[in-house]
Amino acid sequence: MRTFTVEEMARQVGGTVVGEGSTVITGAASIETAREGDIVFAQTPHHFAQAEKSSGSCILVPRDIRESGKILIQVENPRLAFSTILALCYPPERPDPGVHPSAVLGRDVRLGGDVSIGPYAVIGNAVELGDRAAIGPGCVIGDRTVIGRETLLYAHVTLYPNCRIGERVTIHSGAVVGSDGFGYVWDGTRHVKIPQVGDVVIDDDVEIGANTCIDRATLGSTMISRGVKIDNLVQVAHNVTVGQHTVLVAQVGIAGSSKIGAGSVLAGQVGVCDHVIIGDGVVVGAKSLVFAGKHVRAGEVVMGYPTRPMRKAKEQLAALAKLPELISEVAELRRAIAEVRAQLSLAS
**CB distance 235 to 252 below 8 Å:** yes
Burial (CB < 10 A; 0-12, 13-18, 19+), residue 115, is: buried
Work out the average pLDDT over 309-336. 89
244 HSE (CA, 13 A, CB side): 3
C-alpha distances in angstroms, 156 versus 176, 264, 316? 9, 29, 45
Determine the pLDDT at residue 94.
86
d(CA 109, CA 303) in angstroms, rounded, equals: 47
In the predicted structure, residue 269 carries a pLDDT above the cut 90: yes
C-alpha distances in angstroms, 261 versus 87, 200, 253, 307? 29, 18, 15, 17
93 or 170, greater pLDDT: 170
d(CA 105, CA 227) in angstroms, rounded, equals: 30
Q: For 261, phi and psi rounded to 5 degrees?
A: -70, 170
Determine the pLDDT at residue 292.
84
Determine the pLDDT at residue 305.
87
Report helix, strand or coil for 232: coil
Confidence of residue 311 (pLDDT cuts 50, 70, 90): confident
Q: For residue 109, which of 132, 141, 153 has the smallest C-alpha distance?
A: 141
d(CA 23, CA 40) in angstroms, rounded, equals: 14
**CB distance 313 to 303 below 8 Å:** yes
Q: Which CATH code is given to the segment(s) 4-89? A: 3.40.1390.10
In the predicted structure, residue 348 carries a pLDDT above the cut 80: no
Confidence of residue 313 (pLDDT cuts 50, 70, 90): confident
Q: Tell me: the pLDDT tens digits for 210-221?
A: 999 999 999 999
Determine the pLDDT at residue 346.
79
Burial (CB < 10 A; 0-12, 13-18, 19+), residue 66, is: exposed
Report the side by side order of strands in the sheet with 283-284.
Answer: 98-99, 116-117, 134-135, 152-153, 170-171, 207-208, 229-230, 247-248, 265-266, 283-284, 301-303, 308-309
CA angle 176, 180, 182 (to 5 degrees): 115
Range from 53-57, 161-165, 191-195, 308-312 carrying the lowest mean pLDDT: 308-312
Determine the pLDDT at residue 92.
82
In the predicted structure, residue 146 carries a pLDDT above the cut 90: yes
d(CA 154, CA 164) in angstroms, rounded, equals: 17
Looking at the DSSP assignment, which residues form a beta bridge with residue 302?
284, 309
| Segments of the chain assigned to CATH 2.160.10.10 | 98-311
**Average confidence score pLDDT of the chain:** 95
Would you say domain 98-311 falls under CATH 3.30.930.10?
Answer: no
Confidence of residue 135 (pLDDT cuts 50, 70, 90): very high
Radius of gyration of the chain, Cα coordinates, nearest whole angstrom: 28
Helices of type H across 192-246: none
Q: For residue 228, which of 171, 271, 301 has the smallest C-alpha distance?
A: 171
Round to the nearest angstrom and report the end-to-end CA distance of the chain. Answer: 92
d(CA 4, CA 10) in angstroms, rounded, equals: 10
Work out the average pLDDT over 234-253. 98
Work out the average pLDDT over 100-114. 98
C-alpha distances in angstroms, 303 versus 221, 279, 288, 316? 29, 15, 5, 11
In the predicted structure, residue 317 carries a pLDDT above the cut 90: no
Work out the average pLDDT over 148-163. 98
175 or 308, greater pLDDT: 175
pTM for the whole thing? Answer: 0.90
d(CA 206, CA 227) in angstroms, rounded, equals: 5
Looking at the DSSP assignment, which residues form a beta bridge with residue 16?
74
Work out the average pLDDT over 135-156. 98
Report helix, strand or coil for 323: helix
Angle, helices 6-13 vs 78-89, to 10°: value is 120
* Residues acting as catalytic residues: 238
Q: For 65, phi and psi rounded to 5 degrees?
A: -95, 120
Confidence of residue 150 (pLDDT cuts 50, 70, 90): very high
Share of the chain above pLDDT 70, in %: 100
Confidence of residue 347 (pLDDT cuts 50, 70, 90): confident
Determine the pLDDT at residue 37.
95
Confidence of residue 13 (pLDDT cuts 50, 70, 90): very high
Q: Which residues neighbour 157 within 8 Å (Cβ) at sequence distance 6 or greater?
A: 136, 139, 140, 171, 172, 173, 174, 175, 176, 177
Q: Tell me: the pLDDT tens digits for 59-96?
A: 999 999 999 999 999 999 999 999 999 998 888 888 99
In the predicted structure, residue 334 carries a pLDDT above the cut 90: yes
Q: Which amino acid is at 280?
A: D
Work out the average pLDDT over 239-245. 98
Q: Which amino acid is at 217?
A: A
